[in-house]
Amino acid sequence: MTTHDLGPTIPARANWAEEAVAAHAGAEHLTREEQVLERIAKARARKAKIKEQRVTLSHGAGGKATHTLIEAVFLEAFRNPVLERLEDGASLAVSWTDGATGRLAFTTDSFVVSPLFFPGGDIGDLAVNGTVNDLAMCGARPLHLSAGFILEEGFPVADLQRIVASMAAAAQAAGVQIVTGDTKVVQRGKADGCYITTAGVGLLDRPTTLSAAAARPGDVVLVSGPIGDHGITVMLARGELDIEADIESDTAPLHGITAGLLDVAGDGVRLLRDATRGGVATICNEVAVASQVAVVLDESSLPVRPVVTGASELLGIDPLYVACEGRLVAVVGPDRADAALAALHAHPLGEGAAVIGTVKDDPPGLVLLRTAFGGTRIVDLLVGDPLPRIC
């Protein structure tokens, strides 16, 4: 190897790396690799801290960067017991002046999908179904929605009417009403056509409390159908990949299927989550951390359409991280697992439901995958968006 001196060298960042290493000495009884792994586990358990100076796209991708942003910025400022649970929606106890009491679920979600129209749906039905589903995942019966629109100057009214019509249809199908709203228009170039924020309230009229922290060893993990359809559809609809495939978004309201599931296996259902941004892998990680359990998934049991597998293989991404908009993950106690699977299968949206994994006690906080090839690996949170690999 020939070394050439090519002029002055600029020193890189300060020695924070060395300092970080020095802070993790000790634990001599373990092998060196185990010590390192222990050190990493500790580092991961530390309080989230944002190192970036500016928000990057990674902060919106649903992976580690998003979690860090939520915990270090929002949770830090707004901290309260309801928000701290970081569920899909807030569960609120309310009491009226006449002495009656009840529980409500309350949630909000923003939609910035590009393109606005894609096979199987558009930003309108996505905005309604997304909030309906967040309420359904709390175990609630969705009642009322709000809708806020941020529109870019010059946006075609015909497109807006098309979006709103599909929102109306989705609301009717989900049995909810959009009862309040807001509109803002920003200068051309300050937004990408149309952004929608919906919020929703639902009635928690079942005794069950669902929580990502409720999973226990022995529980079973189910998914309500093939994963990754929405994410792959939108990626292909952007037209950047020159891949054509016969696939549609799975956007759908899930309150019907959750009601069916809770009717049959209500006392055994620990938690429900809709597998949106970050996909099934992200949900399983949230469960593993919140419940301090290991979630063990079985790759050959994962329902994935061949077209999604194919596109993912080509792009070098993993369907486990690809968004769905009409699929839920349920963790259910072992004695109710068969009933839960039957309940999912009984609903038209749950025909492709499957048991995809189990909950174990060790190693806590991790998601593991038995690969179809017969090996094992960790399924971690992604840092940002799944980036295509070059070769």
Partner 1 sequence: MRFVDEFRDATTARALATEIAALCEPGRRYKFMEVCGGHTHTIYKHGLEDYLPETVSLVHGPGCPVCVIPMGRVDDAIALAEHDDVIMTSFGDMMRVPGGRGSFFDSKAAGADIRMVYCPLDALKIARKNPDKRVVFMAIGFETTAPSTAMTVLRAAVEKLDNFAVFCNHVTIIPAIKAILDSPDLRLDGFIGPGHVSTVIGCRPYEFIARDHGKPLVCSGFEPLDILQSVYRLLLQLHEGRCEVENQYSRVVPWNGNAKALRVIGEVMELRPHFEWRGLGFISHSALRMREKYARFDAEQIFGVPGVRVADPKACQCGEVLKGVLKPWECKVFGTACTPETPIGTCMVSSEGACAAYYNFGRFSRERVKEATRA
Which parts of 249-308 interact with partner 1 (CB under 8 A)? Answer: 294, 296, 306
Q: Does 39 bind partner 1 (CB under 8 A)?
A: yes
Least Å distance, CB 300 to partner 1, is 8
Token couple for 219: 């529980």
Q: Does 309 bind partner 1 (CB under 8 A)?
A: yes
Task: Tell which residue, 180, 82, 202, 211, has the closest CA to residue 135.
Answer: 202
State the Cα–Cα distance between residues 146 and 148, nearest whole angstrom. Answer: 7
- Give strand pairing partners of 345: none
Least Å distance, CB 5 to partner 1, is 9
State the Cα–Cα distance between residues 30 and 50, nearest whole angstrom. Answer: 31
Q: Which is nearer to partner 1, 64 or 270 (CB)?
A: 64
Least Å distance, CB 125 to partner 1, is 28
- Sheet with 194-203: list strands edge to edge: 90-95, 101-111, 194-203, 141-152, 177-186
Task: Please pick, from the candidates 77, 95, 158, 240, the single residue that binds partner 1 as defined by CB under 8 A.
Answer: 240
Q: Which is nearer to partner 1, 62 or 202 (CB)?
A: 62
Cα 266 from chain centre: 23
Least Å distance, CB 48 to partner 1, is 10
Stretch that binds partner 1, among 17-25, 82-90, 139-147, 332-340 (CB under 8 A): 17-25
Least Å distance, CB 190 to partner 1, is 15
Q: Does 45 bind partner 1 (CB under 8 A)?
A: no
Q: Which is nearer to partner 1, 196 or 283 (CB)?
A: 283
3-state class (DSSP) for residue 244: coil
Give residues with Cβ within 8 angstroms of 38, minimum separation 6.
27, 30
CA distances from 112 to 63, 156, 172 (A): 17, 17, 22
Cα 93 from chain centre: 25
Query: Which residues inside 314-343 make contact with partner 1, applying CB under 8 A?
Result: 316, 318
Q: Which is nearer to partner 1, 17 or 186 (CB)?
A: 17
> Residue written as tokens 């970036």?
52
Task: Please pick, from the candidates 10, 25, 157, 158, the single residue that binds partner 1 as defined by CB under 8 A.
Answer: 10
Least Å distance, CB 6 to partner 1, is 6
Residues in the interface with partner 1 (CB under 8 A) total 72
Q: Which is nearer to partner 1, 252 or 293 (CB)?
A: 293
Task: Please pick, from the candidates 82, 191, 241, 342, the single residue that binds partner 1 as defined by CB under 8 A.
Answer: 241
Least Å distance, CB 88 to partner 1, is 24
Task: Please pick, from the candidates 25, 26, 29, 32, the single residue that binds partner 1 as defined by CB under 8 A.
Answer: 32
Task: Tell which residue, 211, 349, 369, 217, has the closest CA to residue 280.
Answer: 369
One-character DSSP codes across 200-212: EEEE--SS----G
Task: Please pick, from the candidates 52, 248, 267, 351, the single residue that binds partner 1 as defined by CB under 8 A.
Answer: 52
Query: Which residues inside 345-384 make contact with partner 1, applying CB under 8 A?
Result: 360, 362-363, 366, 368-378, 380, 383-384
Task: Please pick, from the candidates 7, 96, 183, 263, the single residue that binds partner 1 as defined by CB under 8 A.
Answer: 7
Q: Which is nearer to partner 1, 175 or 363 (CB)?
A: 363
Contact 156, 115 (CB under 8 A): no
Q: Which is nearer to partner 1, 12 or 100 (CB)?
A: 12
> Residue written as tokens 């891949």?
243
> Residue written as tokens 């690996």?
377
State the Cα–Cα distance between residues 341 and 222, nearest whole angstrom. Answer: 7
Task: Tell which residue, 311, 150, 344, 332, has the closest CA to residue 238.
Answer: 311
Contact 255, 133 (CB under 8 A): yes
Token couple for 218: 């022995």
Stretch that binds partner 1, among 35-43, 73-81, 170-178, 206-214 (CB under 8 A): 35-43
Query: Which residues inside 62-101 make contact with partner 1, applying CB under 8 A?
Result: 64-65, 68
